Amino acid sequence: MAKILMKGNEAIGEAAIKAGCLHFFGYPITPQNELPEYLSKRLPQVGGRYIQTESEVATSNMIFGAAGVGVRVMTSSSSPGISLMSEGLSYLAGADLPVVIVNMMRAGPGLAGILPAQSDYAHATRGTAHGDFHLLVLAPSSVQEAVDLTMLSFELAEKYRMPVMLLGDGMIGQMMEPVSFPETEVGPPMQADDWALTGCRGREPRLVSSLFLDPVELNAKNHERFARYAVVAQNETRYETFNCDEPYDILITAFGVMSRVCKSAIVALKEQGVHVGMFRPITVQPFPSAALSEAIGKARRVLDVEMNMGQMLVDVQLAAKGRVEVDFLGKCGGLTPSIEDVVEAVYDSLTKAEGGG
């Protein structure tokens, strides 16, 4: 299919339809409004339904109901709205329901700002809500990748029966880039015949629940879920490396749009004779620790660059296993480290690697 120029938020909406998602529930919040607006127009055209909710609390429970009756469903929001969905995310994970949640991150904490940020990495990957569970979290760095990962999100959510989050750093939603979509008009419906609540005609009644008062049963349930997470980590961990084929002194780690700034800095540094590689996790949960660990093993020092105060930094430090130091460059509040900022930080790291710091 020919490429068309599209805003990230709208492209994600179209990708959802291509993936066969015909139901969307959401509450307005900047900077993701173009996504629900696009779907409010498009979904009725393809026989789907758009429902504007009274709150993100309600949203997260509406998608619980939608997924529970075996229907492919999506919502989107941004940082403060995702906080309000936390309760629902825990129940969705506890009931093993497949849903896709888009978080177009803005600056935090509190109401903070509406400009792009990577402020919710920790919330998405670890501290999502109460209880033992993970989301599967995908972090795109371009509009095309957002489209591809949106479609993949539904596939993975249903394959592993878990909520999947598309973690975009604000800019992904707002910028326009050329994208192409599969030829399919609307994907096939979700297959959930063996567990969904569709009325008990011809079978025993079913239950969708996260309540297990028997400790032995709950313990077993959580162990089963984490065994599934281990399979996800084994099969679905995704990452990209840049300029890592040749020897490098410094390894940059970055995710989402930040990685593109870092790539430009690496190209500029190469012209100055400085060898820098980059490692970009695409799945930030599960985190590609083993591959990153291997890449760090070839570096003298690591520079982690994020649009926050250092949230992925912890995962990078764990992968470094104390072998090398990990420096950090971060800006937040809606600011993005520039190419010049990254270049300067790489020189700082080099100086420290050579014993100057």
Partner 1 sequence: MRKIFSHTEGMITEPMHYCPGCTHGIIHRLVAETLIELDIRERAVGISPVGCSVFTYKYFRCDMFQASHGRAPAVATGAKRCRPELIVFCYQGDGDLAAIGTSEIIHAANRGEKITCIFVNNAIYGMTGGQMAPTTIPGQRTSTTPGGRNVADDGFPLKMSEILAQLQTPGYVARVSMHSPAEIIRAKQIVKKAFEYQVRNTCFSFVEFLSTCPTNWGLSPVESLNWMKNNMLPYYPLGEHKVPEPGKGGTE
Residues engaged in binding partner 1 (CB under 8 A)? 23, 25, 49, 51, 53-55, 57-59, 61-71, 73, 87-88, 91, 95, 197-202, 205-211
- Give the nearer residue to partner 1 in terms of CB position, either 189 or 297: 189
Q: How far is the CB of 27 from partner 1 (least distance, A)?
A: 11
Q: How far is the CB of 67 from partner 1 (least distance, A)?
A: 8
Q: How far is the CB of 96 from partner 1 (least distance, A)?
A: 13
Give the H or E element holding residue 43.
Answer: helix 34-45
- Give the nearer residue to partner 1 in terms of CB position, either 85 or 342: 85
Question: Which residues, other chains included, contact 25 with Cβ-Cβ below 8 Å and sequence gap of 6+?
Answer: 51, 53, 59, 62, 63, 66, 73, 75
Alpha-carbon torsion angle 215, 221, 223, 227, nearest 10 = 180
Q: How far is the CB of 210 from partner 1 (least distance, A)?
A: 7
- Give the nearer residue to partner 1 in terms of CB position, either 199 or 357: 199
Q: What are the tokens at 178?
A: 């050329």
Question: CA-to-CA distance for 117 and 171, rounded, in angstroms?
Answer: 8
What is the number of alpha carbons within 13 Å of residue 37 lying toward its C-beta?
12
Contact 247, 253 (CB under 8 A): no
Question: CA-to-CA distance for 83 and 77, rounded, in angstroms?
Answer: 10
Q: How far is the CB of 25 from partner 1 (least distance, A)?
A: 7
Q: How far is the CB of 3 from partner 1 (least distance, A)?
A: 33
Amino acid identity of residue 215, one-letter, is P
Location of structure tokens 């973690």: 167
Q: How far is the CB of 66 from partner 1 (least distance, A)?
A: 4
Question: Which residues, other chains included, contact 194 with Cβ-Cβ below 8 Å and sequence gap of 6+?
Answer: none
Pairing of strands 23-26, 73-77: parallel
Q: How many CB atoms lie within 10 A of CB 254?
A: 29
- Give the nearer residue to partner 1 in terms of CB position, either 53 or 311: 53
Give the H or E element holding residue 231.
Answer: helix 215-236
Q: How far is the CB of 55 from partner 1 (least distance, A)?
A: 6
Contact 278, 244 (CB under 8 A): yes
Question: CA-to-CA distance for 62 and 102, rounded, in angstroms?
Answer: 15
Question: CA-to-CA distance for 338 and 331, rounded, in angstroms?
Answer: 10
- Give the nearer residue to partner 1 in terms of CB position, either 100 or 346: 100
- Give the nearer residue to partner 1 in terms of CB position, either 95 or 244: 95
Question: CA-to-CA distance for 357 and 351, rounded, in angstroms?
Answer: 7
Q: How far is the CB of 167 from partner 1 (least distance, A)?
A: 23
- Give the nearer residue to partner 1 in terms of CB position, either 187 or 277: 187
Amino acid identity of residue 355, one-letter, is G
- Give the nearer residue to partner 1 in terms of CB position, either 90 or 259: 90
Amino acid identity of residue 234, one-letter, is Q
- Give the nearer residue to partner 1 in terms of CB position, either 93 or 117: 93
